[in-house]
Amino acid sequence: MASAKKKAPRQKLAPSWNSSPVVSVRPAQCDLPQSGPDDHLTKLARVWCHAIRLRDLAARVTVVWNARLVTTAGTACPRTGCIELNPLLRTFGSTQIRRTLKHETAHLIAHWRAGRRCIQTHGDEWRTACAELGIPDEPAFHELPIPRKRMARKLAYRCRHCGLTVQRVRPFAAYTACYKCCKKFTGGKYHADFLFLRIPFPPAVMRQG
């Protein structure tokens, strides 16, 4: 069977203030770290959690590289305590890696403190955690030159209480409730009265009155 040809590294022109164009070369996949755990970064994230007296959370935190991440710098899973980082972060240096790690650790901290209470992904709880980790002005989304893939939204949901409609690329998890209603009526705690219900796509516009 003939071997497939290797693709050349993708090149992208970066803006420059002089007449000479600056070429930014995305490294070939073989030059990047492969998927797998990172003991050093795991220890670092645990130290940060210990510093703010979250020892139980610190014991659960693990950090891994995930080569399947394409458009995102990192993700955090509150249920497992696992932080996944995009190997492309290596090309931006250790400072950016630490900042992204703090960003994702703040997500774990915010959800750990909230317990079963519904919170916004980049809400007040997350911002408080960011400040404790030394990144008080952290933006919700990165501006790194990582290629973004636009995907069409083909799913629609509507809150059974307030009628708020959202369009999604991926399905909601089972029993996902409207944060706005939960915060207003139950102090942020989950309640089935505020469930998002799947509706036909594209959603019809609700008439007022």
Least confident of 73-77, 148-152, 195-199: 148-152
In tens, the pLDDT along 101-118 reads 999 999 999 999 999 888
Exposure b/e, 51-64, CB count within 10 A at least 16 = b:
eeebeebbebbbbe
Whole-angstrom Cα distance, residue 114 to residue 111?
5
Query: How confident is the prediction for the chain on average, in pLDDT?
Result: 82
Q: Residue 205 — pLDDT band, cuts 50, 70, 90?
A: low
Q: At residue 40, does pLDDT exceed 90?
A: yes
Going from the N-terminus, what domains does the chain have, and what CATH number goes with each? 31-132 (3.30.2010.10), 155-199 (no CATH)
Q: What is the pLDDT of residue 173?
A: 86
Average pLDDT over residues 134-158: 84
